[in-house]
Amino acid sequence: MERLDDLQHNGLMLYQDTDYERFNADALWLLAFLRLGARDRVVELGSGTGVICVLGTDNTGAHFTGVERQARLVELSQQSAAKNGQDIRFVCADVADAPALLGHGTFTAAVMNPPYFTSGERSSNPSRSLTRHDAGSSLAAFLSAAFALLANGGKLFVIYPADALGELFAALSAHRFVPKRMKLVYTKAGKNALRVLIEAKKGGKPGLTVETPLFAKE
């Protein structure tokens, strides 16, 4: 069922469908981690409901483009942008096809929250399963697309499970991204970190800043 949600930020609204994947805390943690300015051209790979594009446009003044393979989510994202009077482009495509559609070296920044669940029971909802569960090569596909889409020196922002940080660092290195900032997200006192937020640079030099952790509720 389609619904219109108040994002409680500068009057912004977001269309969502209860039969499809909706945004969660990961999107908000990633959004808060972004460092962007009005001159940035940003592509979000796997834009889902479009919440990062909608709020990111308002927060930073940057120009966002969303790439999402689920046509219904693209339709809802376009409705949200129109409702808010925002100039955001949403493209219905697989991330692997994004460079051919949008151009190599077109963007100064890329944002992504790729599917990362590799075990456990899959959701019976096809939309949620596509969004959350990794078929085995999602991270590589997202990073390959980001590398092609970004100009030299472009920034990549990603959220990933903290217990897979080694895998993420190895994948970033294989795709010629250098981590520059890192923040761990904790949701329960005395427990291990749940997520890691990384800002990496295409073709950057070594040098990583580990920021103060974020303690938040899920």
pLDDT tens digits for range 105-131: 999 999 999 997 565 454 556 555 454
What is the C-alpha separation between 26 and 146, in angstroms, rounded? 19
DSSP at 203: T
Query: For position 133, what pLDDT does the model report?
Result: 44
Higher pLDDT, 217 or 68: 68
CA nearest 29: which of 185, 189, 213, 142?
185
**What is the average pLDDT across 166-194?**
96
The DSSP bridge partners found for residue 196 are: 160, 184
CA nearest 191: which of 211, 162, 150?
162
Tokens of 188: 């329960």
Query: For position 182, what pLDDT does the model report?
Result: 98
Note if the pTM is more than 0.75.
yes
Sequence spans of domains, the chain: 2-215
Confidence bin at 137 (pLDDT 50/70/90): confident
Say if residue 206's pLDDT is above 90: yes
What is the C-alpha separation between 76 and 110, in angstroms, rounded? 21
Average pLDDT, the chain: 92
3-state secondary structure 79-102: HHHHHHCCCCEEEECCHHHHHHHH
Could you tell me how far CA 200 lies from the centroid of its own chain?
13
Q: Per this entry, what is the length of the chain? A: 218
Query: For position 107, what pLDDT does the model report?
Result: 98
Query: For position 131, what pLDDT does the model report?
Result: 47
Query: For position 167, what pLDDT does the model report?
Result: 95
Residue with the two structure tokens 């003044």: 61
Q: How many CA atoms lie within 13 A of 196 on its CB side?
A: 19
The DSSP bridge partners found for residue 64 are: 42
Answer yes or no: CATH 3.40.50.150 is held by domain 2-215: yes
Query: For position 117, what pLDDT does the model report?
Result: 58
Confidence bin at 191 (pLDDT 50/70/90): very high
Say if residue 84's pLDDT is above 60: yes
What is the C-alpha separation between 185 and 179, in angstroms, rounded? 17
Query: For position 217, what pLDDT does the model report?
Result: 79
